[in-house]
Amino acid sequence: MVHDATGRPLVFCHGGCGRRPGFFGELLATLSTVDVTRVSSARRRRARRDRHGVRDSYEPISGAWVYTDDAGRPLARKVRQVRVDAFTRQRQREFRWQRPVARPGGGGRVTWMASHGEVEPAALPLYDLPWLRAARARGARLVAVTEGESDCATLRAQGLAATCAPNGSGAWQPQWTEELRPWPEVVVVVDNDPAGRARGEQVGAALRAAGCAVRVLAPPAPFNDVTDLLRAGRPVSALVDFSP
């Protein structure tokens, strides 16, 4: 008998697992790690929607950011939408990836289609790569790395060179470090929460290991991110440096 984390029975083997530990032992060990609550809840939700013939709906796209290669060719698009649960009517903001499909006739025009695993954020370049390289070529010496595209736009509106990673607060990738290596100074701007500070430490450590001059900044309480800070009329200089 295998139980989940709450002590509820998960599976009982009637086939004599002790006599065949190579297969059933691994199966039971794997099943014991499953979050039954989440899985069963998702299954019930799908079954209920299938039974009633309804699906969650999405509100219109409220934000879209295109990731391109160094020549400006589109690789993927991240969109922000609110998902509305078909039964509870609860609203949940989500970020979804779309892939480009070339339109007939050429001309570089694309149609954006839902990505079903084809887009791998960790393999994409930094946001707005051609703009970022052009800013460095024009003589910009400081670049800010934010947690998301909205904060990136906020800092650009202040006259700063800014970019972000496509995976938000996900694992930092070596190719992004290489892209930032030519910049004399890198400022990592994170959200004012434990996850943001952990992200700042991760990115800062990776950049310092590559020889970059790095500072890690976050807004002071009660502001959550740099956009909140500036909307309240506070200057960028109000960001707090918590670099090691």
Q: Are residues 161 and 190 in the same domain?
A: yes
User: Considering 83, 104, 119, which residue would you say is the last residue of a domain?
Assistant: 119
32 and 129 belong to one structural domain: no
Comparing CA positions, the residue from 171, 137, 176, 155 lying closest to residue 225 is 155
Q: Is residue 157 domain-shared with residue 218, that is, in the same domain?
A: yes
Q: State whether 89 and 164 are in the same domain.
A: no
DSSP code for 219? P
130 and 236 co-located in one domain: yes
Verdict on whether the full-model pTM lies above 0.85: no
Of 78, 92, 93, the C-alpha closest to 164 is: 78
CB neighbour list of residue 40: distance below 8 Å, 6 or more residues apart: none
- Pull the structure tokens for residue 173: 């990738």
Q: What are the counts of helices (DSSP H) followed by strands (DSSP E) for the chain?
A: 7, 12
63 and 35 together in one domain: no
Q: What burial class does residue 148 get, using C-beta atoms within 10 Å of its C-beta: 0-12 exposed, 13-18 middle, 19+ buried? A: buried
Per the structure, the count of domains in the chain is: 3
Q: What is the pLDDT of residue 169?
A: 78
Which pLDDT does position 39 carry in this prediction?
A: 52
pLDDT of residue 64: 97
| Enclosing domain of residue 204 | 123-241
For residues 8 and 93, membership in a common domain is answered with no
Q: Answer whether 86's CB lies under 8 Å from 54's CB.
A: yes
Helical residues (DSSP H) of the chain, grouped into ranges? 26-31, 36-52, 129-137, 149-156, 174-180, 194-209, 226-231
Which CATH number characterizes residue 190's domain?
Answer: 3.40.1360.10
From 185, 204, 186, select the one nearest 243 (Cα to Cα).
204
110 and 196 belong to one structural domain: no
| Separation of alpha carbons 72 and 128, rounded Å | 8
pLDDT in tens, the chain (244 residues): 555 556 665 555 555 544 444 555 565 555 555 554 555 666 776 676 666 667 888 899 999 999 999 999 999 999 999 999 888 889 999 999 999 999 887 777 899 999 888 899 999 999 999 999 999 999 999 999 999 999 999 999 999 999 999 998 789 999 999 999 999 999 999 999 999 999 999 999 999 999 999 999 999 999 999 999 999 999 999 999 988 7
Same structural domain, 136 and 209: yes
What's the token pair of residue 114?
């839902």
User: Residue 2 has what pLDDT?
Assistant: 52
- The Cα 128–Cα 138 span in angstroms is 16
Cα separation, 81 vs 117, whole angstroms: 18
Tell which of 81, 101, 119 closes a domain: 119
Domain boundary among 88, 119, 150: 119
Task: Report CA torsion sign: 176, 181, 187, 193.
Answer: positive
CA pseudo-torsion sign 151, 156, 159, 163: positive
Both 41 and 149 in a single domain? Answer: no
Which pLDDT score, from 0 to 100, does residue 109 have?
86
What pLDDT does 153 receive?
97
- 190 touches 215 (CB < 8 A): no
pLDDT on residue 205: 96
β pairing state of 161-164 and 142-146: parallel
Same domain, 72 and 150: no
Question: Which pLDDT score is estimated for 19?
Answer: 47
What integer pLDDT is reported at residue 56 of this predicted model? 85
Same domain, residue pair 134 and 159 = yes
Single-letter code of the amino acid located at 147: E
